[in-house]
Amino acid sequence: MSSVNLEVSGGVGTIRLDRPPMNALNIAIQDRLRELAAEAGRRDDVRAVILYGGEKVFAAGADIKEMRDMDHAGMVVRSRELQESFTAVARIPKPVVAAVTGYALGGGCELALCADFRIAADNAKLGQPEILLGLIPGAGGTQRLARLIGPSKAKDLIFTGRQVKAPEALALGLVDRVVPADEVYEQAHAWATRLAQGPALALRAAKETVDAGLETDLETGLALERNWFAGLFATEDRERGMRSFVEDGPGKAKFR
């Protein structure tokens, strides 16, 4: 068994980190994450994805002990591979929910940022403590955190390295929901299951359009939206959704 696996049930694939005690994200996990993201994207029986680290901890970041002896030349290569792995997770063309328990620090927080939504345990602590190691976030944190919560709030977290408890994370918009610790996975699964029942192609289009739109100008974003919007008229889901609205009433369509 690897330290990170994809477990599938009821249309939901869970990418489960399992490297006690802190799920430190070593190179083997980073590389495997990329493979599992591709697998989750490819498999028809996976319609939504959960990122999960178990009941105690999400992930306390990249493996500092492994990184300690790396030099500049090595990290030039490795940092690209690290970012590619996380980007592969962010680009899974299906809804992704991060279920955050305990610590989500450094690369752990950055992994949660690759999800579309974050549900956190009331005991969760999130942060980007790399500054305390004389570093900056290297797995997308400077970019994805600033886009999610805005530059000044992101700079506060990145400049200080402080840990944010769940209620503050909720207020910052860093997480979307806070629930009792023993309910995090169950609630993430319920959320993902609802999304898994939606129209897969339209969900893919929505995700791609929102994400790509954040990286481009309004005109280009609108063109992308328009093309997808028109393109979805060629899908069975669109036909089913509209027929069901007319014949059964709003919100009754079943897509799987």
Q: Mind telling me the catalytic residues?
A: 110, 130
The residue from 13, 95, 106, 198 that contacts ligand CAA (CB under 6 A) is 106
User: What distance in Å separates the CA atoms of residue 149 and residue 172, rounded to the nearest whole number?
Assistant: 6
In the complex, least distance from residue 134 CB atom to ligand CAA, rounded to whole angstroms: 10
| Helix%, strand%, coil% for the chain, nearest 5 | 55, 15, 30
The residue from 11, 107, 198, 199 that contacts ligand CAA (CB under 6 A) is 107
In the complex, least distance from residue 56 CB atom to ligand CAA, rounded to whole angstroms: 10
User: Interface residues for ligand CAA in 36-65 (CB under 6 A)?
Assistant: 60-65
95 binds ligand CAA (CB under 6 A): no
138 binds ligand CAA (CB under 6 A): yes
Single-letter amino acid code for the residue at 46: V
Q: Which residues partner with 127 through β-bridges? A: 105
Task: Judge residue 122's burial from the number of C-beta atoms within 10 Å of its C-beta, 0-12 exposed, 13-18 middle, 19 or more buried.
Answer: middle
Neighbours of 11 (CB within 10 A): 18
Would the CA dihedral through 138, 141, 147, 153 be positive or negative? negative
User: What distance in Å separates the CA atoms of residue 134 and residue 155, rounded to the nearest whole number?
Assistant: 15
User: Interface residues for ligand CAA in 180-209 (CB under 6 A)?
Assistant: none
Backbone φ and ψ of 249, nearest 5°: 105, 165
Tokens of 48: 């939504």
In the complex, least distance from residue 127 CB atom to ligand CAA, rounded to whole angstroms: 8
Which residue's CB is nearer to ligand CAA, number 125 or number 207?
125
* CA distance between the termini of the chain: 31
134 binds ligand CAA (CB under 6 A): no
In the complex, least distance from residue 14 CB atom to ligand CAA, rounded to whole angstroms: 22
Reduced to 3 states (helix: H, G, I; strand: E, B; else coil), residue 63 is: coil
164 binds ligand CAA (CB under 6 A): no
Q: How many CA atoms lie within 13 A of 47 on its CB side?
A: 20
Residue pointed to by tokens 């481009």 = 216
The residue from 4, 12, 17, 24 that contacts ligand CAA (CB under 6 A) is 24
The residue from 6, 17, 22, 46 that contacts ligand CAA (CB under 6 A) is 22
Single-letter amino acid code for the residue at 65: K
Which residue's CB is nearer to ligand CAA, number 53 or number 106?
106
In the complex, least distance from residue 45 CB atom to ligand CAA, rounded to whole angstroms: 31
Reduced to 3 states (helix: H, G, I; strand: E, B; else coil), residue 53 is: coil
**Choices 48-56, 99-107, 148-156, 231-239; region in contact with ligand CAA by CB under 6 A:** 99-107
21 binds ligand CAA (CB under 6 A): yes
User: Interface residues for ligand CAA in 139-158 (CB under 6 A)?
Assistant: 139, 141
Binding site for ligand CAA (CB under 6 A): 21-22, 24, 60-65, 103, 105-107, 110, 129-130, 133, 137-139, 141
